[in-house]
Structures are given as C-alpha cells and as structure tokens.
Amino acid sequence: MRFFILITHRSSLITNKMNNNLIQYIFGIADNCLILGQRLGELCGHGPSLETDIALTNISLDLLGQTRSYYQYVAQLQGGDVTEDTVAFLRVENQYLNTLLVEQPNTDFGYSIARQFLFDVFHLLLLEELQNSKDENLSAIAKKSIKEVLYHKRFSSDWIKRLGDGTDESHSRIQTAINDLWIFTDELFHQTDADKAMVSQGIGVDVTLLKTKYYKEVSEILEEATLQTPQIEYFQKGGKQGIHSEHMGYILTELQYMQRTYPNMTW
C-alpha cells in the first residue's frame, strides 16, 4: 500500500496504556476480518459455481480492505517500523485475537455459508454501534464498512433460506453446519479487559448488549429457512485471548508464507 489513510491526529496526552488497550481492541475486530477474508479467499477458483465463487471472493476483498484500514490505524498508533503488512503477516498465533468462528474451515458450501451468516449478523450489529465511537478513525471505518456488510448479510441470509428451504439434501447439510458452528457464536459477545477499558471510554462497543438482538435475528432467519435454531448450552471460546483452534496454524502458514520465506519482500 503506497497511499495511506489519513489518520486523524491523536492527542499526545494519550498514555501508552490506553494506546495498548486501543490496539488490542482493534485487533479483536480487525483480526476477524482478516481471518475470515483469508478463509473466503481459499475459495477463489473453487466455488461451487462461478457466481458464488465471485460473490464469496468479493466479500473476502471487502473484508481485507476493511482489515487494511484497521491495521493502518494500528501501524500509526504503534509507530516505528510497524506497517499494515507487518501487523498482518508477522505476528505469532497467540497475538491474533479473532474469534474461533471465523477460523473454521470451508468443510462444504453449507459450512462456508453458515459461518458467513453467523458472522454477518454480528458484524452488522457491531458496526452499527461502532460508527458512534468517540474514536473518529474507528467511526469512519465503521461507517464505510456498514455499506459493504449490508450486502454480505443479504447474500448469506439469502443462501441460508435457499439451502434450508431447498432440497432435503441441502436442508440437512445446512442444518448440520449451523449446529456445528453454533458453539462458536457465544464468543462473539465475550469481552476482554481491553474491550472493557475501551467501552468505558466510549470508544468500544459493549457487545454484551447485542447478544439478545443477535440471537433473535438469527432465529428469525433460520425459521424462515425452515431450519431449527440449535438448543445448545455448551460454547467454545479462546480466540479472543489468542488461544486458537488447530486450524489457525494452517491458516497462518499459508497467510504468512511469503513474508516468512522472503522477509521484507514487496509486491
């Protein structure tokens, strides 16, 4: 990237600690976009049809674009030699703070759609609040992203309905995918200490307040798709603390390959 986003000048009174919490908070949002974008990118040229292939990779592109905006901001906050590229490519696994949901594999089209749907509903709710952030940069990124995520949610909801209300085979497979991924939904509403610090400053979004609305919206669309809302009480978490599933290592191996093999290479 040669043309950087114009970042609003930050007051020098901001302490390092607050900066650090802000950076951790941004990672909690941006890493979801990066890792989901990477997962969707795997489908480039491998989608079940040309149209869905193009759609999923377009969504990937939007997410990676959003990631860049967040990481450019992080690079400004960290200063020194940090760039959006070093942030994206040179962290180790436990420094990525994405939720477990987005790192789940493209087992089949049903899983890709279910993962997208469960994330999109959350993502839009989050951005709708983040646009009111006291941090001007986060607010600007959120306002920009909302327009894109509206399309993502429309696409994934539409496919949930098509598959759910489709053939017996598509119905059973999308139901399986929803059931399997359900255990990762609760983590979307977990708060780290950095999240809480940012909420108290009016910068972060209190995700706990989005939970009821999220499950209501998801259930309504599932119902319309003739699908069952899973009644599962057990949930998995860890990604937000940097404790990931076994999939994450494989994702990073591919994502970081070029920078690790040819350090400092540029396009």
Partner 1 sequence: MTDELLHIDQKIIEILKTVSDPEIPVLSIVDMGVVRAAKMNDDVVEVQITPTYSGCPAMDVIGDDIISAFNQNGLKAKVELVLSPAWTTDWITAEGRKALEKYGIASPLSADADKEALLGNKKVVKCPQCGSLNTKLVSQFGSTACKALFQCDDCLEPFDYFKCLK
Residues that bind partner 1 (CB under 8 A): 1-6, 51-52, 54-55, 58-59, 61-66, 68-69, 136-137, 139-141, 143-145, 147-148, 151, 154-155, 158
Q: Which is nearer to partner 1, 29 or 141 (CB)?
A: 141
CB of 64 to partner 1, least distance (A): 5
Cα–Cα distance, 105 to 112 (Å, whole number): 8
Q: Which is nearer to partner 1, 51 or 246 (CB)?
A: 51
Q: Which is nearer to partner 1, 11 or 49 (CB)?
A: 49
Q: Which is nearer to partner 1, 39 or 68 (CB)?
A: 68
Q: Please tell me what DSSP assigns to residue 108.
A: S
CB of 109 to partner 1, least distance (A): 15
CB of 208 to partner 1, least distance (A): 27
Amino acid at 101: L
Q: In degrees, to the nearest 5, what angle opens at C-alpha 20 toward C-alphas 17 and 26?
A: 145
- Counting every residue written for the chain, the total comes to 267
Q: Please tell me what DSSP assigns to residue 230.
A: P
CB of 119 to partner 1, least distance (A): 16
Q: Which is nearer to partner 1, 4 or 250 (CB)?
A: 4
217-222, long-range: CB within 8 Å, 24+ apart, which pairs? 217/121, 217/125, 218/117, 218/118, 218/121, 218/185, 221/117, 221/121, 221/157, 221/160, 221/161, 222/160, 222/164, 222/178
CB of 239 to partner 1, least distance (A): 23
